[in-house]
Structure 1
Amino acid sequence: MPWRETTDPYRILVSEVMLQQTQVERVVPKYRSFIRKFPDISSLASAPEAELLAEWQGLGYNRRALFLKKAAQTVASVRRFPRTPDELRRLPGVGPACAGAIAAFAFNLPSVFVETNIRRVFVHCFFPGERKVQDSAILPLVERTLDRKDPRRWYYGLMDLGAFLGDTLPNPNRRSASHRRQSRFEGSFRQVRAKVLRLLLSHPGLTPAEARRLAGADAVRVRQALAALAKDGFAEKKGGRWFIRNTQQDRA
């Protein structure tokens, strides 16, 4: 995995945000492409939204891309990358697990966090037969077993063990209180919204009628998708036509 070949906090941030809700196999090629396009904090902080979202396509949950840009802008404005989990959690879109991972992998700090593979190891090893295992029960065990001299290496090994358990056992995380079965994407509103976003990237200036025809979707759902994209900061309406929002232009 290419993010294990670096301790650059920017690249670790990018990988952790991508990995939040996307499988590793899908992230690897997108991570490489993204880093080529936006190799550092400043290039991402100044990226037009249309370019950023076009690069993000294929990863899903596009809101993460906007949060990632906002995080880059925050770091660029202070000219210092935060190091501790508390500092990192102040970045837009960075939660406790993401902050802990960046602190451990970029700075080798003994942060305490839980993510999918770590959770799988602890549920399997310490909670046999139990159900609805809370992360609050797992975190003290993570802290007690953590290698404080080399947390980066420890966490990588722990996550590899979790991935192995996922491949060889019925998923222990089904017994976790954090386990959620993802809703069906095919035919969902999320799918319509994703189609409309891709259309605005490839065909800027669409009318709702044109978007409906190209998306092959119900007119009501297309209008709802456009409204949702506008609400979340992805799109804007100008003179009856829809575009990807350009925040650089907004500030000009």
Structure 2
Amino acid sequence: MKNEEFIKTVWEYYKKNKRAMPWREDISPYSIFISEVMLQQTQVARVLAAYPLFKSQFPSFKSLSQVHTATLLAAWQGMGYNRRALYLKAAAEVVCTKYKEVLPEDTALLDKLPGIGHATACSIVAFAFNKPVVFIETNIRRVFIYYFFSDTEDVSDNDILPLVEKTLDKKNPREWYWGLMDYGAYLATQIENPNIKSKHYVKQKKFEGSVRQVRGAILKYLLKRSYSKEELEKIYTDDERLFTALEQLEKEGFIASKKGRYNIK
């Protein structure tokens, strides 16, 4: 398919089927910042459910930077990958102290914020500031592999990026990327996932029975009250995952142990 036909296909789909999302209505840098971090590893439906309350509780970089960890994690419940909540707070602290509560428009500066990374930095710049940066995320990758690499295996992002740049609407990158993402989400419901042809494809590990599952459960317990290791061992009898989870959570700054009891830090 030629670039012109591809562009027409994406725009036509988007104009008829664009998804309504609160962070598309409020495109302030703060709204885009928190929504893009939430969307890193969480399905859109779950973010849509959590985003309004989270934003109402923490309506600014300043309020997010000052929140206690327990309050933050309680607001983050249901989102998974709780480490992102700590990264959000840490990044907000940098924005407040270093940039006087004004989010930088430079991808290189955003990339240095805790938990952001290059792709998220680019998406923030594209959506908050409507700048024509070039980046790839899951849905974008799916669309380009489907249309341009249908007969190719082991597709590298380096193969895709030049096409992303050539087809990018430099006058309206914000909506073009929304269109790509919406179309990619649609394709995911219609065909076998083209992303399995990506060189970077990694099958997600099962949540059930994982250390991550135990970590999440421990945090839910500790949000209600403190627990001793003995109490937790009664819940997770002869389960080695408990000790790994406790060690990780303490090392990463989620919890602290004092007088033999664990609390949210």
TM-score range, shorter chain: over 0.9
Give 1:223 shift: 2.6
Q: Which runs of 5+ in 1 are unaligned?
A: 246-252
Could you give the per-residue CA deviations for residues 132-186 of structure 1, whole angstroms, max 9, x where no partner exists?
Answer: 1111111111111111111001111111111111111111111112222111111
Partner of 2:161: 139
Provide the residue aligned with 2:39 in structure 1: 19
2:201 counterpart residue number: 179
User: Partners of 1:137 and 1:217 in 2: how far apart?
Assistant: 49
Q: So what's the TM-score if we normalise by structure 2?
A: 0.88
Equivalent residue number for residue 209 of structure 1: 230
The farther-off stretch of 185-194 and 107-116 is 185-194
2:179 equivalent in structure 1: 157
1:87 and 2:109 matched: yes
Aligned to 2:216: 194
Please tell me whether the aligned partners of residues 236 and 242 of structure 2 are also in contact (alpha carbons under 8 angstroms). no
Deviation track 1:74-113 (CA, whole Å, cap 9, x = no partner) reads 1011212110211211111111110111001000000111
- Residue 248 (structure 1) aligns with: none
The residue type paired with residue 26 of structure 1 is R
Q: Which 5+ residue runs of structure 2 have no aligned equivalent?
A: 1-20
Conservation of the 8 A alpha-carbon contact between 1:117 and 1:159: yes
Deviation (angstroms), 1:224:
2.5
Deviation, structure 1 residue 216: 3.9
Q: How do residues 44-83 of structure 1 correspond to structure 2 at under 5 angstroms?
A: 44-77=64-97, 78-79=99-100, 80-83=102-105
Counterpart selection for 2:254 from 221, 226, 234? 234
Count of matched residue positions in the alignment of Structure 1 and Structure 2 = 243
Superposed displacement of residue 222, structure 1:
2.1
**Alignment deviations for residues 173-202 of structure 1 (CA, whole Å, 9 cap, x no partner):** 111122221111112222112111111111
Partner deviation per Cα, 1:6-57 (whole Å, 9 max, x = no partner): 1111111111111111111111011111101111111100000000011111
Distance 1:147 1:41 in 2: 30
Identity %, equivalent residues: 51
Q: In structure 1, what residue type is equivalent to 2:31?
A: R
How far is 1:219 from its partner? 5.3
CA distance in 2, matches of 1:190, 1:93: 18
Instruction: Give 4+ residue runs of structure 1 displaced > 6 Å after superposition.
Output: none
The answer to whether the aligner puts 1:104 opposite 2:104 as a matched pair is no
SS at match of 1:193: helix
